[in-house]
Amino acid sequence: MRHICLTLCLAALISSAARASTATANLGVSASITNNCIISTAPLAFGGYEPLSGAPAVNGTGTVTVACTNGLTGAVITLGQGLHAAGGSTDAVPLRQMQDAGTDKLTYKLGPVLLTSDEHKIIQHALAGARD
């Protein structure tokens, strides 16, 4: 009896599957993109420096990488005064100093940002969009 029921049940399922139809419809999709920037850095190392030798200042290279969402306008990214700013330091005219494990400090400056031609084009495009 069990074998007959199983056979009849399978036959009913197969026949109903053969009669099934296909229908399609559009599914609306949306997303909200939050404007955001991610900033990462690589250390700036000046190497060895002997201030009493009269040697000229040394240069070092570090990087600041900024990645923002496409279409972001009006973003302003600034560098602060550093962890050990000298007296009289302001955001407009930072007097940056680095400090060793004790209390000894060494003044340093961050020079102009060097951009690749592609980065320059991206910034110019963003500025043009902000003026429109």
Specify the higher pLDDT residue, 40 or 129: 40
Structural domain boundaries in the chain: 37-44+59-131
Q: Residues 5-37: pLDDT tens digits?
A: 444 444 455 555 556 688 999 999 999 888 888
Q: Residues 36-91: pLDDT tens digits?
A: 888 888 888 888 878 788 777 788 888 888 888 887 777 777 788 889 999 999 88
Helix/strand/coil (H, E, C) string of 32-86? CCCCCEEEEEEEEECCCCCHHHCCCCCCCEEEEEEEECCCCCCCCCCCCCCCCCC
